[in-house]
Amino acid sequence: MVIKQKVDTLTEVIVEEGSAVVLPCALSSKQDITNVLFDWKKGSQEVFMYDGGDHYNNGRPGQDKQFKDRVSHLEEELKHGNASIRINNTRVSDSGNYTCLFPRLNPPRTFSVQLVVKKSGTEGAEEIGSNGEIKLDVELDDRD
């Protein structure tokens, strides 16, 4: 796995196809976001939306079918301002630019992650653990 962080809060994550990955999104204030709205998108596709406990994995409609049953949030991390999501069984088609948006914060906050999913056995994927699981502990500064 390779992680690159740029000043504009664009983080690049590179993983091997079929593995699980955590896309990072965390407020530097570490404020409790258990009752906050955050929305993960890939372009116009809905990846994961959380709104005060209501989300795609407990009946909320609207998630893009490409991500259904593969994306979850880190419930225990919400109280620490962490809105990171986990995508299981990554596919090359998951590659692209993702945004994590907190539209109701004042000012609203947006984080960007570029996910690159490489076919198994391609160069650059050798940093993946033998079990295919990746755990990230990344804190990004808020963008004003």
Tell whether 140 is covered by a domain: no
Residue 59 has what pLDDT?
A: 80
Tell whether 135 is covered by a domain: no
Tell whether 88 is covered by a domain: yes
Tell whether 74 is covered by a domain: yes
If one counts every other C-beta atom within 10 angstroms of the C-beta of residue 36, the result is 18
Per DSSP, what are the bridge partners of residue 42? 45, 98
Q: Round to whole Å and give the CA distance between 132 and 109.
A: 31
| CB contact at 8 A, 37 and 52 | yes
Number of domains the chain contains = 1
Tell whether 109 is covered by a domain: yes
* Enclosing domain of residue 60: 2-118
Report whether pLDDT(28) > 70.
Answer: yes
The mean per-residue pLDDT over the stretch 17-26 comes to 96
pTM for the model stands at 0.77
| CB contact at 8 A, 101 and 142 | no
Give the pLDDT confidence of 100-121 residue by residue, as tens digits: 999 999 889 999 999 999 998 7
- Look over the chain and give the mean of its residue pLDDT values, rounded to a whole number: 83
Local confidence band at 138 (pLDDT 50, 70, 90 cut-offs): very low
Largest separation between any pair of C-alpha atoms in the chain: 44
Report whether pLDDT(45) > 50.
Answer: yes
CATH number of the domain enclosing 14: 2.60.40.10
Tell whether 56 is covered by a domain: yes
Tell whether 142 is covered by a domain: no
Tell whether 33 is covered by a domain: yes
Contacts with 59 (C-beta within 8 Å, 6 or more apart), sequence order: none
